[in-house]
Amino acid sequence: MTAPRDEIERLRQSIRQHDYQYYVLASPEISDLEYDQLLRSLEQLESQHPEWITADSPTQRVGDAPVGSLASVSHQVPMLSIENTYNAAEVHQFADRVAKLLGQEAVEWVVELKIDGVAVSLLYEQGQFVQGVTRGDGRVGDDITHNLRTIVDLPLRLQDNPPPLLEVRGEIYMRNSDLVRLNAEQTERGEAIFANTRNVTAGSIRLLDSRICAQRRLRLFCHGVGRSTGLTERTHMEFLEHLRRFGLPATPEVRCFGQLDQAIQYGHELVARLHELDFEADGLVIKVNRFEQRDRLGATSKFPRWVIAYKFEKYEAVTQLRDIRVQVGKTGAITPVAELEPVPLAGTTVSRASLHNADEIHRKDVRVGDWVVVEKAGKIIPHIVRVEIHRRTTPLAEFQFPTHCPNCQFVLIRDEGGVSIRCPNHQCGAKIKERIRYFASRHAMDIEGLGEKLVEQLVDQKIVLNYDDLYRLKEDDLQSLDRMGKKSACNLLEGIAASKRRGLACLLTALSIRHVGTVVARVLARHFGSIDAMRDTTQEELSSVDEIGPVIAASVYEFLHDPHGWHTIQQLQALGVDTTDSTRESAMTSSEQPRKLDGQTIVVTGTLHRYTREQIHRLIEQHGGRATSSVSAETSFIVAGEKAGSKLQKAEQLGVRVLTEDAFDHLLQQGPSAS
């Protein structure tokens, strides 16, 4: 028979392991009921043997009595603020400063979500949690150990051979779903509700009574290190991996990039997915990955020089949900849209917000008639953050997601292992319209004059039902369309003809292949050089390309080997659409002839007539230059189009050379000596 003390230790280890599976790996191995039974068994044994209760036992998360006051604690390693910016140009300026200080050596950039919570420092000695302190003024904070011990995903003892001393920096936060629950409980008790998760977190973490804090269900993400002895990690990414092994929850969705532009692009993708998060984020944190470089960069009196916060403005409003309707996207995804009682938000009146997918409606329990919190962050479309369930005074029906396409009535299918529900019909009129609109958009094939209303007419009259139909259009086909005179028709046909020369990256973007956006399209185009080479490769070879991975590879492979997809490509090729990548050819021949913009930093501003912004940036990179968004004394020259504005003024003030679009083209034709 197992001795009571051995059984106590066995239960503690088992509970700690299940906490790790649930909070760190997000992969629970037992049910909530089974977990509760383990905890009750431990509580019962400890009540029988109180002499064996230890401070790091899972039962000791709530103190017995309030503390008298919060003691002040000095940070031995100051918790400095992070420099903030709200625009990409200043992020580039930050990166330029880093490059200058490091002598132009290679830098890896880490991108993290900036959690909207309360910054804390956690101290572990010999693997045991001994103290937690607020940031305070960065040099002195408040001891909140009693409250931090109540946070379920903060391990009281670390796993996997932690160092003797480890001070971890992190953020205490509250999930939106827990705020919904808390406000419902507050309403039932007749008490005031809380406005947002950050206010609850900031107030709760400083309570003297930890029993109240425990009821708030606060959570933790870790993202940095203060003092330590015995740490061997050389990079931030290695450190985060060790945090997870120790049992600490690291900030999610973190990635590392060799180029700043890639990091910023990933940041934009994260912002577009804010609706998926059950916690609040108010920006991105971009930091140097290698610790040795951070040490050399050091800090000013206020900020570390190796990190910047790229923030976005966030606005919230509360309004009532009048209806939920669904629309069909370019890949057939059925997207639910919230029809709202109009409400002022960020200088505009918002009456619609995306609900994204059926699972989100279910997860947030969104019902017609509910009062909802609507948020707009940065330039993304408004989305519903949470439902004010405490205001649901009468029963409301759950939303029933449609089983058939609202446009063509095909039976809808759900992605295997995914959240999207789609119409599988290639000839669905709504899908065709969305695909053609996207194909013609500026960051795809950039067909000037092919707007939304014109696409509606072309598809409704069955003049255009696929991409290749665009390249077969004649002036006579356009005569019957509203507001389409001879000049407009000629301009449109010229725009369509010009789009044939956009190249492989733009075409891949335009084809609406799932998971393929502008960045992925550019990576694929440069790697393979032609659409035929891409089709001739295996799915495994596609997956091995940097930045691609198995999910994107499977989607691309499926499109290129689907009879409908490949027939579309062949039709476009036959009509003269370029399916090759000129930048790859240039890179392959760069050893034979000098690139014309080698080592030069170039800013493009204003409206251009021959290039989209993406095209001219790609051309600059193709010729060895670096396209940046901010003008400085280090800028080699700027290319100024119409309405150039403040960047042109700054270039003139700094004496930076200014080229017109024609002069830029002439420079490329003449070569380096012309500069």
Listed in sequence order, the DSSP H helices in 82-168 are: 88-101, 145-148
CA end-to-end span of the chain: 87
* Element spanning 124, H or E: strand 118-125
The token pair at 190 is 């007749």
Domain limits, the chain? 4-52, 83-290, 313-421, 429-499, 504-586, 594-674
Residues 427 and 431: their CA atoms lie apart, in Å, by 8
pTM: 0.70
Residue segments in the chain with a per-residue pLDDT below the cut of 70 = 1-2, 22-26, 32, 61-67, 378-379, 582-595, 614, 629, 670-675
* Fold that domain 594-674 belongs to in CATH: Rossmann fold (3.40.50)
CATH classification (class only), 83-290: alpha beta
The owner of tokens 């080592």 is: 599
Longest C-alpha distance within the chain, in Å? Answer: 95
Residues 673 and 675: their CA atoms lie apart, in Å, by 5
Strand partners, 74: 140
* Neighbour count for residue 72 (Cβ, 10 Å): 12
Q: Which of 177, 252, 197 has the alpha carbon at shortest distance from 222? A: 252
Contact 281, 378 (CB under 8 A): no
* Angle formed by the axes of helices 518-528 and 582-589, nearest 10°: 50
DSSP 484-548: --HHHHHHHHHHHHHHTTS-HHHHHHHTT-TT--HHHHHHHHHHHSBHHHHHHS-HHHHHTSTTT
Strand partners, 317: 374
- To the query of whether residue 302 is one of the catalytic residues in this protein, the response is no
* Fold that domain 429-499 belongs to in CATH: DNA polymerase; domain 1 (1.10.150)
Torsions phi, psi of 534, nearest 5?
A: -65, -40
Contact 198, 116 (CB under 8 A): yes
Q: Which residue in the list 100, 114, 314, 433 is annotated as catalytic?
A: 114
Q: Do domains 429-499 and 504-586 have the same CATH topology?
A: yes
Q: Among 2.60.40.10, 2.40.50.140, 2.60.260.20, 3.40.50.300, what is the CATH number of 313-421?
A: 2.40.50.140
Architecture of the domain defined by 4-52: Orthogonal Bundle (1.10)
Amino acid letter for position 141: G
**What Cα–Cα distance (Å) separates residue 566 from each residue in 473, 507, 548?**
21, 13, 21
CATH number listed for the domain at residues 504-586: 1.10.150.20
Residues 76 and 423: their CA atoms lie apart, in Å, by 59
Strands 314-328 and 371-377: antiparallel
Residues 575 and 128: their CA atoms lie apart, in Å, by 69
